[in-house]
Each structure stands twice: as C-alpha cells, then as structure tokens.
Structure 1
Amino acid sequence: MASGGRTRQQDGSEFAALLRRVRAEAASPEASADCAELVALARDGGPESRDALADVLAETERPLWAREVASFALGCAGDRRAFETLIFLLNYRDPVRGATAAHALVRLGDPRTARAAAALATNELRTAYALHPVRLLVALRAPESVPTLVGVLSRLLERPVPHWPVALACVEGLGRIGDARARPVLQEAAHHHRLRAAAHAALARAGG
C-alpha cells in the first residue's frame, strides 16, 4: 500500500477509536445527534464542512468531546485552525486524549508544533502529563527534539523517584532518533534498573 494509503488507514483507525470513546460521553439523545452531525462533517471534509468544524472550536460552550472530534478531523486534514485545541488536548490530564491529539498534530504539519511540544515537555509543573509531548517530539524529529528530550531526561534522573514512563519515553525516543548528542544522558540512564535495557539499546543506535 502506498504511503498516502497507509496514512489514511491510520487516520481512519484513530478516528474510529476516538468515536467509540466519545459516543460513550455523548450519551443523551441531543448529544448523540450532535455527535452524528460532527462525524458527517468530518467525513465530508469539504471547505464548508471544515468551516463548520472550526466554528465548533470557537464555541466555548461546546463539550470537550465535540471539540476533540472537530480538532482531530481538522488536524488530519492539515487545517491549522485546529492547532490551539490540539495543543491543549496534548497536555490534558486524560492520557488517551493526549495520544489522539499527538496523532493529529503530526498530520497537521504546523511549524509551531515542535516548539509548543517542547514547552509542554519541559514544564516541571506538568511532568506527569509530559508523555505525549515527548512522544510527539520523537515523531517530529525537529531541531528542538533532541535537546528537549536530553534536558527532560537529565532533569528526571536527578529526582529520587523519576516519572518512569516519561523517562522511558525519552530514552526510547532518543534511541529511535539515534543522535550522538544523547550519549551522555543515556549512559547515565543505564545506571537505573528500570531504564537499563532501553538505555543500552538506545546507546547502540546513538553510537555509544
């Protein structure tokens, strides 16, 4: 299958998972009808439908699930009006919403994305929610990616009890990128038993 076909298939799979989740939230008859209308707009994808979806993002009284459906559809269509909402969802307290937002942000291709993800990942007050910003930086492989991942991992390793999932995501991400600048912090990570195997694998890919 061609790359474009794989991308559409992945977007369709993610959208289907999103709909299964939000339909549980949109339980009332009125909300269910609203959800069906949003789905129809998302699947149409034409200019007028995208304008209607963008209007949803501007209506503050809309429930979060509606804004998530609209921003996901717009993001996967490359419509930058989804950017602010997707960044909000990327760092949301519900991890599944962060994962969905990260998927759409990769498709969106907005040049602001890497800088915003880096700001979220390095916010020490939001470290518990940094997993998806970290994974997004890995997927983007932007100039900000390696310095941010190295900085976040270094800070986490200084803590008595690091946020292990975030630290592991940094280690694995640096391994996938394979940049030699990550070698010192990966060597440090290899001293932690929960990170040791991933750190050695990442070092092998980073020339260490």
Structure 2
Amino acid sequence: MTTGALSEPQDGTEFEQLLRRVRAEADSRGAQAERAELEALARDGGPGARDALAEVLAETGRPLWAQEMAAFALGCAGDRRAFETLVFLLNYRDPLRGATAAHALVRLRDPRTARAAAALATNELRTAYALHPVRVLVALRAPESVPALVSLLGRLLDGPGPHWPIALACVEGLGRIGDARARPVLREAAAHHRLRPAAQAALARAGG
C-alpha cells in the first residue's frame, strides 16, 4: 500500500487530467473555493488530509465532482475508504469518470475490487458501461477475471447487437492474461471479422 496520495508519476498525470475536467465543472457552479481546498488536500496526501477527504465521501449532498476528486486521491493512496465511491463511478454513465475510477481502483489493491468489477462487467442491464470494469479485471488478473471476461464475451457474441468496443476489450484482455480457459470463446470471436485479428493474436498467447 502506498503511503501518500498521487505518489506515482502516472497518478499525477491522471490527477492533472481529472483536475482540468473538474475545474470547468466546479468553477461553472461557483465552487472554486471548495475545489481548491479539495485539490490541496489531494496533493497533500498526509493522514490528516486523507481523513478530510474521507469525510467528503461520508457527507451527503456533496457534488459528484467533489466525491470523484476525493475518491481518486484516496484510492491512489491505497486508502480503502474510497472503495464504494470508486465502484459506483466505475460503472457510471460518464466514461471519463469510469476511466479515473478504474485507474484508482487498480492502485487501491482492495481484495473486494475484482468481485465488484466482475459483477458490473457481467450485469446484462449495464453492458453499455462495462468497458472500464473489463479493464480493471484485465489489470488485476484476479481469479474472477477470466470467468467474467469469458462470460461477457460469450454473451456479446451471441447477442443480436453486440457492443464491439467492449467485445474487443474482452478479446484483447484475455490475450494479455493468456489463460487456456479462454480458447473456446476466442475461437468464436475469431469468426467475427471485426474481432478476428485480435482474437487470433489472443489465441496465440493462450496457447490455442
């Protein structure tokens, strides 16, 4: 577990991208002071700052952008008080918020993350928002990862209108993991011209 917020270079880059987006949202609502305070706490990363950020997540009525900032900083610091908010944002309808949540969840290293991501990825009612849960599963390579990705990809291949970007993410992710259990569904994916190159490459890595 890391000991301070935004301690890795990639975390700082992701945070700056988050800030550019949040500044426009917060400042347009006249919340410059609140946003500046949260930014300072996130950059601080000390125990007191993390406690203050955790209070933001516990308070009712806080705007979503404030919760996102606090959860991202806590998640990158390895503080598990961010878990519930990050999981909520992972499957949010805004893909940018899903991306930042995925980044923080991978760094959080909470043992509950893989199960939560698998549940979100395989939820048939939330398929349109499954891309970032898929990416979390691939990054974690947890015991839940391959079964969830295989299940989701199989359903997308069988369905009348598959979400091709999500199916492609499953194929590429299974290739990176390289688990032999994925061979049957990857062979099915190779029959679809949009997925064929990625599926063939994934099969090679999975020993198929």
TM-score normalised by length of structure 2: 0.95
Query: Which protein, 1 or 2, shows the higher relative CO under an 8 Å CA cutoff with sep ≥ 6?
Result: 2
The answer to whether structure 1 residue 155 and structure 2 residue 180 are counterparts is: no
Q: Map of 1:114-129 to 2, 5 A cutoff?
A: 114-129=114-129
Q: Structure 1: which 5+ residue stretches go unaligned?
A: 1-6
AA at the equivalent of 2:89? L
The C-alpha deviation readout for 1:93-148, integer Å capped at 9, x for no partner, is 00010010000001100000000000000100000000000010000000000011
5 Å-filtered alignment, 1:2-151, equals: 8-28=8-28, 30-151=30-151
- The Cα of 1:21 is off from its aligned counterpart by 0.4
- One-letter amino acid of the counterpart of residue 139, structure 1: A
Mapped partners of 2:52, 2:27: distance in 1: 22
Aligned residue pairs total 202
Q: Deviation of residue 154 (structure 1)?
A: 0.5
Partners of 1:62 and 1:29 lie apart in 2 by 13
Give the Cα–Cα distance (whole angstroms) in 1 for the partners of residues 29 and 152 of structure 2. Answer: 45
- Counterpart secondary structure, 2:186: helix
| 3-state SS of 1:207 partner | coil
DSSP-derived class of the 2:8 partner = helix
- Give the unaligned 5+ runs of structure 2: 1-6
How big is the shift at 1:29? 7.4
**How far apart in 2 are the matches of 1:160 and 1:74?**
41
Aligned pair in 2 of structure 1 residues 107, 24: CA closer, same or farther (>3 Å)? same
Identical residues among aligned pairs (%) = 82
User: Which residue identity is paired with 1:65?
Assistant: W
Task: List structure 1 runs of 4+ shifted beyond 2 angstroms.
Answer: none
Equivalent-residue separation in structure 2 for 1:30 and 1:188 (angstroms): 52
Cα deviation, residue 27, structure 1: 1.7
CA distance in 2, matches of 1:85, 1:29: 22
**Cα RMSD, aligned residues only:** 1.0
Displacement of 1:185 in angstroms is 0.3
TM-score between both structures, scaled by the size of structure 1: 0.95
Query: What is the Cα deviation at residue 28 of structure 1?
Result: 4.3
- Report the CA distance between 1:205 and its aligned residue: 0.4
Instruction: Indicate how the Cα distance of structure 1 residues 184 and 63 shifts in structure 2: closer, same or farther if over 3 A, else same.
Output: same
Distance 2:28 2:192 in 1: 49
Query: Are residues 29 and 161 of structure 1, via their aligned partners in 2, closer, same or farther at CA, if it must alter by over 3 Å?
Result: closer
Structure 1 residue 60 displacement after superposition: 1.8
- Residue 3 of structure 1 is matched in structure 2 by none
Matched with 2:197 is 197
